[in-house]
Structure 1
Amino acid sequence: MTTDPVTTRLLRQALPVVTTLASLLLVVTLAGALYFGRDILVPVALAILLSFVLVPAVRALRRLRVPRAAAVLLVVVLAFGLLGAVGSLIAREAAQLAADLPRYSLTLRDKITALRAATAERGGLSDTFSGFFDMAEEIGKELQPPAKADSAHGSDAPLGTAERPMQVEIHAPRSGLLTTLGSVAGGVLHPLATLGLILLFTIFILLQREDLRNRAIRLAGSSDLRRTTAAIDDATARLSRFFIAQLVLNLAFGLVIGVGLWFIGVPSPILFGVIAGIARFVPYIGAVISAVLPLAIAVAVDPGWSMAIQVAILFVVVEPIAGHVIEPLLYGHSTGISPVAVILAATIWTFLWGPIGLLLATPLTVCLVVLGRHVERLWFLDVLLGDRPALGPQEIFYQRMLAGDPAEAIEQGRLFLKERALVTYYDEVVLAGLRLAQEDAARGSLGRDRQAEVGGDFRAVVEALGQARMRSLLRRSRKPVGAEAEAAFAAIGPDRQAAGIVLARDDLAPAWRGEAPVLCVSSGGAFDEAATMMLAQTLSRHGLGARVTTAESLRGSLVEGERPAMICFSYLDPISLSQIRLTIRRARKAVPGVTILVGFWRERDPASLGRLRRAIAADLLVTSLSEALDVAVGRARAVAAAPLRRAAE
């Protein structure tokens, strides 16, 4: 059965639209399942996260030869008993605070009156804060206990005053026994059922942990059992360490806040300390939320402003220390989630699961990111939610060249040079970006005019980075370098030994002591000039003077300039081997005895390099700038030279 070509073409055009609609339908279906199934899914999620925290304790008991069932039950009972004690403490402290609130209303009203009088003297400020003061007064009136009714309504009233209106209270009719039991059961049984589900799921997850792991391996893909097992074990260990570290840090944060509030004299410091520890699970705004209530109580309790100022200072000092000093020491500089993903996840999970979703947003998103990094089928989760750059360093660099933004590429390059050598950056980032550009040009994706523009941006970056001072190997920068530079450090290997060597004149053989003993020849392609400039810069920065010329002007350069000790031919996209042999033959004829180095800036099989070098009759053949620097330093160094000097500022 043949298919109409027109129909086939229409189907191909409609395929992206169908794929997009199917993806949207899948997202909507998952969101609906999460929303309508929250009564079951929330306890399951809480049980899974709680199991990550309790697994180390169960393992410790197992190492003491405690049976698995007994170890799980003991750990779970202790954990839920601790949670119950915390909940009871919160309820008792909250009830005590609610009973004491009416006593603070007079202080609050006096303070509001004083503020209103102060702002009234400044004109416009009175109108600005008028609504706020009215609202605060209403709150103060609500906090006041109701006044006792006069014992004699009319007889004791002073003469000439109007009789008070009679207070009328409307009561709902008394409900029956079944209605009362239903309302009570609805408010009590639902939380108890949720708690029971969490307890049940936690016990079974801890008991069946290995079986659940095996099933996860099967779902993730069992074709490579060793790799999948290692990935899941690593993900489980990372999540467990992260959740335990976060729990310990937040508990310590709540303890410090509670003790600080107790020293300041704020009522119910235990309650506010517990709230601060719990609220800090909410990213970015948790600590701010936890500071609002104690600040309000401090304003209501203290006739002055010293208590409120001390509370504000307490939170302003403790939170940065916890977030920017202790947190990186416990579980790295971040949770592995991008800031945008944190806010987006908090919004989505709060919409789906309410306040519990807000507390679970970060842990659940961390789980998704870890799965995306270790499970190949879920790689898109790491791209969407993770904080690692979605593109490699060379891809980011080339994208900025395509966008016509060399300034940002120069800035990122300078950040990289704070820690690593310029030749390493050229090899791993800039030269790799040039290869991507050459591939696009070979495919016809870049026209001639576009090639000229992108090549000009490459040359601008190379010229700017070539003017940067050389990094000192004895003194490393400790300043923050940014996420992209950090990712580049992780993706790029260490500097080679020659990257830290600078040859002085006395270190050089006589033929290499001229101003420009190395002649770097560009093949003339749109991007070859940038590669040749990088080669010349690399050699010059390490004590080997070099100058750049093109293949067309090579003969004139040999006649007019001094005799070079080495001629380096640079090919980003090599032309025919016969043309290269002819060019090398002419160079040898013009400068007898010169060393010929050919740089093919493409990744090649090492076994074929020797045959290729012999085919083009070159003395040296390299595929990276670091290799070119290594062989040039070896050729230029005098036999009896002094010890090589290291690069310094």
Structure 2
Amino acid sequence: MRESTLFKHLTSSAIVTACCVLGLLYFGRDVLEPLALAVILSLVIAPLIRTLRRIGLGQVPATMLSVLMVGTCVVGLGIVLAFQLVAVTGDLPKYRAAIRTKVAAVREMTERPFARIEAEISAVQPQAQQSGTVSSRRGMSTVTVSPTQPLPVEIRQPRLTTRDSLTRLFAMAFGPLGEAGLVLVLLVFISLEHESLRDRLIRLAGQTEINRTIRTLGDAAQGVSRFFLSQFIVNLTFGTLIGLLLWLAGVPHAGLWGALSGMLRFVPYIGVMAAGAVIAVFVAAIDPGWQLALSCIALFVALELFVANVVEPKVYGHSSGLSPLAVIVSAVFWGAMWGPVGLLLSTPLTLCFVVAGRHVRGLEPVTILLGDAPNVSGAQRLYQRLLTADSDTIVRDAHAYLRRASFARYCDKVLLPGLALAGADMRAGRIDAGQMETMRAAMGRVAATLNPEGRTPARTRRRRDVSLLDANLGAYLRQMRETRQGRWQGSLDVPAHSVVLCAALAVERDELLAELLVSALRDANIDARSTLLGSADRPGPEKAELISTVILPYPVEDRLGDWLNAVTELRTHLPDALLATVKLPFDQSTVPQPAVEEHVDIVLRSFEEALAFVAPERAPRG
């Protein structure tokens, strides 16, 4: 991970530049709004233009046809919705009595608790205080009443003529229609000059930044196009289902409410709540009771929860590139800057900045803060959780990882690299003794929970386990296994050449690696067991034929002599067993590999390689 933090970018010049950009966005909204709309729409229809060009159309016909198709769909949908709204407005007088009844019922429900509280408070007030208050109020009223009342004056607006009505209507529609026309013109020219604009931006960035610029433009275009396509499909399906459910429930104008629900879902979070509120108010107005309204609200909420929590994460949860919090923050920011247009464009605009931050160092804080996932690897996350002794989060993340991968891969990709980071910081003096004890205790809980063979040992051995954990995590894990499965970690009445022995020197590093490797192999249904090199507590020579393979951790320089002596002893007592060692990619050992290869049969690079190496060896040898 690159060393880049937000504070490294918070210089005075960066703050001044950010303030200038914010001012430009706010005060230049009249120019930037249609331009941003046109750019986003050009990215949306770009796949359609490319599809038309593949079938033989030129750039100009493909662009004009694409804009015409999209414009026709938008205008047609707008006309249909306008007629539906007119029909709803005409039907509202039918439901006037129901509306009045519901409003009175709601008012009574909301006012009754407050009236009761006021009555109870008035009842406990002293009578004298109440009478004094009343007399003072009466005195004030007699003083303030004037003997002559002013004449009421009513101001009436002059009746509008047909010309005045048309003028006002044209003035109201000129703004949105004019902006829509400007966006349409910009969309056409941006789509026609798409290749030319990209070449100009690449030229503007300079020859040295050509690769980064091309990747930024490509990622932004692909991300926005994929996001809008996925969102369009999801919202269209959602609106169709809402309309169908309301039609089955007998709600009038169900198609209008379905279309409204699908359209408002393009506005992050706020849109779907507004659609639900409108539907709830309308259904409550048309039905004398509350059953239909509550049923429709329940259906709407259930469908929205299902789409938001099940469908969206699978369809475009990872294609947006933004975290859920970033979507809300961007909606608030762009809504404050550009109003409703900014609210609609908040997600694609922020997505463009997040994509640019992956390639432009100055925008990297935006990507870190608003991206869908922080730029932190699984190993770094594990190390951070170990520092805070957050073993519950580590276990939860591990179970999520193990649902799609093996324990051997989890060790290779997350667990062992995270422990290597801790070891590097410990050697550099960035971790004190207290933190190291906290990390060891957290790692012991994690390893005991993730062990595929069972849970922690009985409570009666807790005192001994804790003291052993404080001294050696690997020995603690081995003792756990021996407590559950016996002295030899399982029965010795097994077929010949069916046991894989993970041997280690009496140091914490080697014992921990051996115990984790045993867990990884046992997770794959391999009869793996651990032993301590140099220990006399082991099965007799008559049991040597049970072992097919012996795997040792790669030696470190200061224990190379002990490691070589142990290998010689293994060759003597287990002449038929294969001998392997595991040298992990992040291992800090300085022992040259050729000096090790001449004493073992193979040097493995990971736990997954060890798993693949011993799996074929489980079959009995002839």
| TM-score interval, smaller chain | 0.7 to 0.9
Q: Secondary structure at the match of 1:547?
A: strand
CA distance in 2, matches of 1:390, 1:227: 19
Superimposed CA distance per residue, residues 49-90 of structure 1 (whole angstroms, 9 cap, x where no aligned partner): 222332233334334443422332333244334433444444
Change (3 A) 1:68 1:341: same
- What is aligned with 2:75? 84
Aligned to 1:45: 36
Distance 1:60 1:258 in 2: 31
Identity score, percent: 32
Q: Does the residue aligned with 1:520 lie in a helix, a strand or coil? A: strand
DSSP-derived class of the 2:66 partner: helix
Matched residue type, 1:61: L
2:348 counterpart of 1:363: yes
**Residue in 1 that maps onto 2:265:** 280
User: What is the alpha-carbon distance in structure 2 between the residues aligned to residue 300 and residue 16 of structure 1?
Assistant: 55
Partner of 1:354, secondary structure, is helix
Query: Residue 546 of structure 1 corresponds to which residue in structure 2?
Result: 529
Tell me how far 1:212 sits from its aligned partner. Answer: 2.2
Query: What does residue 329 of structure 2 align with?
Result: 344
Q: 1:432 to 1:128 in 2, by over 3 A?
A: farther
Per-residue CA deviation, residues 599-633 of structure 1 (Å, 9 max, x unaligned), is 3334479xx97513247x34443342233344455
**Is the 1:52–1:243 Cα contact (8 Å) retained in structure 2?**
no
Q: Structure 2: how far apart are the matches of 1:467 and 1:329?
A: 29
Which residue in the other structure is 2:461 paired with?
Answer: none
Sort the Cα spacing of 1:274 and 1:220 in 2 relative to 1 into closer, same or farther, 3 A. Answer: farther
Aligned 8 A contact 1:504 1:543 in 2: no
Question: Counterpart in 1 of 2:391?
Answer: 406
Distance 1:19 1:93, change over 3 A: same
Matched, 1:311 2:296: yes
2:536 match: secondary structure: helix
**Unaligned runs of at least 5 residues, structure 1:** 1-14, 131-164, 471-502, 641-649
Which segment is superposed worse, 87-96 or 270-279? 87-96
Pair 425,450 (structure 1): closer, same or farther in 2 beyond 3 Å: same
Partner of residue 520, structure 1: 503
Match of 1:535 among 513, 517, 520: 517
Distance 1:638 1:322, change over 3 A: closer
* In 1: Cα distance, 2:155 partner to 2:42 partner: 51
Question: CA separation in 2, counterparts of 1:127 and 1:464?
Answer: 56
Aligned positions of 1:474-489 closer than 5 A: none
Return the offset for 1:389.
4.2
For residues 65 and 411 of structure 1, do their structure 2 counterparts lie closer, same or farther at Cα, with a shift above 3 Å needed? closer
CA drift at 1:421: 1.7
Q: After TM superposition, give the deviation of residue 246 of structure 1 in Å.
A: 2.1
- The counterpart of 2:409, out of the listed 402, 424, 436, is 424
Q: How does 1:501-520 map to 2 (within 5 A)?
A: 508-509=495-496, 518=501, 520=503
Change in 2 beyond 3 A, CA 1:190/1:128: farther
Native 8 Å contact 1:536 1:548 kept in 2: no
The superposition leaves residues 487-525 of structure 1 with CA deviations (integer Å, 9 ceiling, x where unpaired) of xxxxxxxxxxxxxxxx99898536x66xxx735224525
Q: Which residue of 2 aligns with 1:558?
A: 536
Q: Is the 8 A contact 1:609 1:621 kept in 2?
A: no
Structure 2 CA distance for partners of 1:258 and 1:572, relative to 1, 3 Å: farther
2:473 corresponding residue in structure 1: none
Instruction: Name the stretch that deviates more: 400-409 or 453-462.
Output: 453-462
SS of 1:404's equivalent? Answer: coil
In the alignment, residue 362 of structure 1 is paired with which amino acid?
A: T
Displacement after TM superposition at 1:290 (Å): 0.5
- Aligned match of 2:450 in 461, 465, 482? 465
Q: Deviations over 1:504-554 (max 9, x none)?
A: 9898536x66xxx735224525x54432321233345544342343xxxx4
State the SS of the aligned residue for 1:300: helix
Verify the 8 A CA contact 1:572 1:601 in the aligned structure 2. no
Q: Does 1:626 align with 2:611?
A: no
**Per-residue deviation, 1:29:** 2.5
Tell whether the 8 Å contact from 2:503 to 2:550 is kept in structure 1 after alignment. Answer: yes
CA 1:598–1:60 in 2, change beyond 3 Å: closer, same or farther? closer
1:241 aligns with 2:219: no
1:289 maps to amino acid: A
Give the Cα–Cα distance (whole angstroms) in 2 for the partners of residues 71 and 18 of structure 1: 44
Q: 1:468 to 1:224 in 2, by over 3 A?
A: farther
Whole-angstrom CA distance in 2 between matches of 1:68 and 1:614: 63
Structure 1 position 341, deviation (Å): 0.8
**Structure 2 residue 394 is the aligned partner of structure 1 residue 394:** no
Instruction: Name the counterpart of 1:25.
Output: 16
- d(CA) in 2 for partners of 1:18, 1:625: 41
Structure 1 CA distance, aligned partners of 2:166 and 2:556? 84
Match of 1:301 among 273, 281, 286: 286
Offset of 1:352 from its aligned partner? Answer: 0.9
Determine if contact 2:220/2:351 at 8 Å carries over to the other structure.
Answer: no
Cα-to-partner distance string for 1:309-348 (whole Å, 9 max, x where unaligned) = 3432442354345445654665456633211111111111
Q: What's 1:141 paired with?
A: none
1:391 counterpart SS class: coil
Judge conservation of contact 1:462–1:530 (CA < 8 Å) in 2.
no
Displacement, 1:638? 2.9
Equivalent position amino acid for 2:503 in 1: C
1:410 Cα deviation from its structure 2 partner = 2.0
1:536 counterpart letter in structure 2 = V
Alignment match of 2:558 (pick from 575, 584, 609): 575
Q: Which segment is superposed worse, 397-406 or 273-282?
A: 273-282
Aligned counterparts of 1:399 and 1:190: Cα–Cα separation in 2: 54
What secondary structure, in the 3-state scheme, does the structure 2 residue paired with 1:558 have? coil
Figure out how many residues of one structure are paired with residues of the other and give that number.
543
**TM-score of the superposition, structure 1-length normalised?**
0.70
Does the 8 Å contact 1:239/1:367 carry over to 2?
A: yes
1:20-419 alignment, distance < 5 Å: 20-95=11-86, 97-98=88-89, 100-101=91-92, 104-114=95-105, 124=113, 127=116, 168-171=153-156, 187-218=172-203, 223=208, 229=214, 232-233=217-218, 235-258=220-243, 260-261=245-246, 264=249, 266=251, 268-320=253-305, 322-323=307-308, 327=312, 330-331=315-316, 335-373=320-358, 378-419=363-404
1:600 counterpart residue number: 583
**2:422 corresponds to:** 437
CA distance in 1, matches of 2:118, 2:38: 47
CA deviation string 1:228-285 (max 9, x = no partner) = 6466445524432331332243244334434554555545545434432221112234
Shift, 1:373, TM fit: 4.8
**CA-CA distance at 1:408 after TM superposition:** 2.0
